[in-house]
Amino acid sequence: MAKSSNKKLLKQFYNCEILRDGQIVREDLWVRNGKFVNPEKIFYVEKIMPDVRIDCGNALISPGYIDLQINGGFGVDFSHDVTTVESGINKVAKTLLAHGVTSFCPTLVTSPNETYQKVLPKIKKRNGGSDGATILGVHVEGPFINPIKKGAHEENFIKKFDKGLQSLLDTYGSLDNICYITLAPELPNSSIVIKELRQRNIKVSVGHSIANLSEGEQAVKNGATFITHLFNAMLPFHHRDPGLVGLLTSIRIPQEKIVHYGIIADGVHTHPAALRIAHRTHPEGLVLVTDAISAMGLEEGVHQLGQLTIQVRGGCAYIAGTDTLCGSIAEMSKCVRFFKEAADCSTVEALEAATLHPARALGIESTKGVLNFGADADFVLLTSELDVISTWIAGERVYSV
């Protein structure tokens, strides 16, 4: 067999368990040309042997983690480090590999127009590899949000849809590199904006909002498919109008639509009981997100988030001088482990919340978030405690302990 490049080598991963089709099974994993391949074709049609056999030492193989909301980390803030955003993106993408993340959506918080128009052109979609995780597109969280639920977002830069979609173009400069937009669906003209964004294949998430359930349902009918960090920066659940939380059980949205929702399982933003409520109510929609900020991976002290100064103390991140939480400092593999314990769910459910579900939310589940034949060979080897042993992108090892 030709061995012109390492990528073309046929690799057999054995002595392992793999997560496939909602089950953990004792089975080998085969990779070639950056994709998972069907061994039956190799045995019975090609009749060849593997070029490389890798003993996994009884590890569990999961699809690589996908983070749909991450503001930065390891000293980098995507919304603040405007002049160094390219090197910052590279640093975060590289460091995420140690935490099992193979794909992510860099997230920009509410910022001035100038920031968006300088930063967005520099964060392009790109395939991952030894230099870092795949960039799936930018998640812009704001500035079209409700100031009443602004959280850590700077109120001076919050905007309305005064000119419909043109308001977004004036703010962002271009929609080219954007894959997700978080907005408040109760804002005037939001319906037409959501419809037009969906026509452009940009995903819409509702969040930082005081919307009632009816307004949330209308947003979903118009094309919204996601809820940004459930329970955080929205009206609390009320039995007469559950607000956006009620979308998890609404019967007034099309049956074929699955509303996915991000949830921060860091032990700070969401109480374990709330995690259990969300998971047991709507498990197939649950997506683990880190919502990580620049302080992730750093020591306690003062750091920057967008236009705000933040302080890390006691393992939590706050707007400096206040008790307002402003993002997580937990990395994804920690969130997976915490979620599994807090929700008292299976290993499969915990892993799929960080793999299959975010892939489905983005509509890329044919290539990402799965170990299916023909999908991208992005995966992570884990211990029985779900600690990361090694991370692989396109069948190449990009990190190992």
User: 232 by DSSP, 3-state: which?
Assistant: coil
Q: Judge if the upstream peptide bond of residue 63 is cis by omega within 30 degrees of 0.
A: no
Strand runs (DSSP E) across 253-307, as ranges? 260-263, 286-288, 301-305
How many C-beta atoms surround the C-beta of residue 261 within 10 A? 26
Give 75-130 as a DSSP string: TEETTT--TTHHHHHHHHHHHHGGGTEEEEEEEEES--HHHHHHHGGG---B--BT
Give the annotated binding-site residues for substrate. Answer: 152, 232-233, 240, 269, 325-327
The Cα–Cα gap between 374 and 371 comes to 9
The Cα–Cα gap between 229 and 234 comes to 9
The Cα–Cα gap between 243 and 212 comes to 4
Task: State how far Cα 375 lies from the chain centre.
Answer: 19
Question: Can you say whether residue 19 is alpha, beta or left, with left for phi > 0 and alpha for psi between -120 and 50 degrees?
Answer: beta
Give the annotated binding-site residues for Zn(2+). Answer: 141, 208, 229
Q: For residue 271, give the amino acid letter.
A: H
Alpha helices (H) along 128-211: 165-172, 190-199
Number of H helices, E strands in the chain: 10, 22
Give 296-354 as a DSSP string: TTS-SEEEEETTEEEEEETTEEEETTS--B--B---HHHHHHHHHHHHT--HHHHHHTT
Question: Residue 386 in contact with residue 336, Cβ under 8 Å?
Answer: yes
The Cα–Cα gap between 321 and 307 comes to 15
Measured CA to CA in angstroms, residue 18 lies from 14, 237, 245, 341, 384 at distances of: 10, 38, 34, 21, 12
User: 211 by DSSP, 3-state: which?
Assistant: coil
Helix, strand, coil shares of the chain, percent, nearest 5, are 30, 30, 45
**Set 291, 323, 344, 376: catalytic member:** 291
Q: With residue 41 as reference, give the H or E element that holds it.
A: helix 39-41
In angstroms and rounded to an integer, the radius of gyration of the C-alpha atoms of the chain is 21
Would residue 170 show up in a list of annotated catalytic residues for this protein? no
Cite the active site residues: 291
